[in-house]
Amino acid sequence: GAVVSQHPSWVICKSGTSVKIECRSLDFQATTMFWYRQFPKQSLMLMATSNEGSKATYEQGVEKDKFLINHASLTLSTLTVTSAHPEDSSFYICSASWFRRGGLNEQFFGPGTRLTVL
Amino acid sequence: AQTVTQSQPEMSVQEAETVTLSCTYDTSENNYYLFWYKQPPSRQMILVIRQEAYKQQNATENRFSVNFQKAAKSFSLKISDSQLGDTAMYFCAFMKSTGFQKLVFGTGTRLLVSP
């Protein structure tokens, strides 16, 4: 159980275009989804947290107008990289969790999406 | 704010040997969770083991065990009988047990298991 999928697994786009990445919880309802960015040989950097039906909370330094996050249902969150540029090329990972009052809200990770902007 | 430090960028071990990966953290919280995640070349994050801070007993999962020293804020991972499939990046992570639960990751240790 607790499977999270991402689509696409890799995408190449031209500079200036927008790219949408989907994150789905396949067998549970995710009250919270997290979006991470990972540069080669580096750790995961949290970009933003989204709760179903509300606006995403962005980490300091992350441009909310550049990285649009929507969490419209309990099984789907999307990350849209708007007007992508080569510096946005990276590996994007989502994770999902469900709320447990007083307990561990364990995160389950998707397989990641490799974005290359030409 | 919490911080997680992994001081070993790379480690090597031979198959069947034992290796220990180090992790220290800093927090003012009393209750929290600690994790070790494995990221193989596929880049899928895999939970290896978790520890709840209020539990004194060290967590174990088959060949993986931790040495949790709460006072020293240390959380090392021991891999016994290393296998080629253990080759991966290993990330130590911290999560508060109350309030907004987000993961704080260390910088990672690259482990290479050789035949």
pLDDT digits (tens, 9 = 90+) for B18-41: 999 999 999 999 999 999 999 999
A26-84 confidence digits (pLDDT tens): 998 998 999 999 999 899 999 999 988 888 999 999 999 999 999 989 999 999 999 99
The answer to whether B35 touches B52, Cβ cutoff 8 Å, is: no
Rounded Cα–Cα distance for residues B43 and B110 (Å) = 13
**CA angle, A77 as apex, A73 and A80 as ends, to 5°?**
135
Q: Are A21 and A7 in contact (CB under 8 A)?
A: yes
Average pLDDT, stretch B69-88? 97
pLDDT at B101: 83
Residue A102 pLDDT > 80: no
Phi, psi of B38 (to 5 degrees): -110, 135
pLDDT above 80 for B64: yes
pLDDT class for B92, splitting at 50, 70, 90? very high
**Looking at CA atoms only, how far is residue B21 from chain A in angstroms?**
16
What pLDDT, on a 0 to 100 scale, did the predictor assign at position A109?
97
What are B85's two structure tokens?
A: 């499939």
C-alpha R_g of chain A: 14
User: Is the pLDDT at A99 greater than 80, yes or no?
Assistant: no
Burial of B20 (0-12, 13-18, 19+ CB in 10 A): middle
Q: Which of B5, B101, B112 to mutate to test the interface with A (most CBs of A within 10 A)?
A: B101
- The verdict on a CB contact (< 8 Å) between B44 and A109 is yes
Rg of chain B over CA atoms, in angstroms?
14
Q: Is A87 helix (H, G, I), strand (E, B) or coil?
A: helix
Cβ of A43 within 8 Å of Cβ of B45? The answer is no
Entry field: residues in chain A: 118
CB contact under 8 A, A112 and B43: yes
Question: To the nearest whole percent, how much of chain B has pLDDT over 70?
Answer: 100
User: In Å, how far are A65, A82, A84, B13, B40 from A17, measured between CA atoms?
Assistant: 14, 7, 6, 45, 31
Distance from CA of A101 to the nearest CA of B (A): 9
Q: Residue A101: is its pLDDT beyond 90?
A: no
Whether B102 has its CB under 8 Å from any CB of chain A: the answer is: yes
Those residues with Cβ within 8 angstroms of residue A98's Cβ, 6 or more apart along the chain or in another chain:
A28, A29, A30, A31, A32, A105
Q: How far does the CA of residue B71 sit from the closest CA of chain A (Å)?
A: 22
Interatomic CA distance for residues B71 and A92, integer angstroms: 35
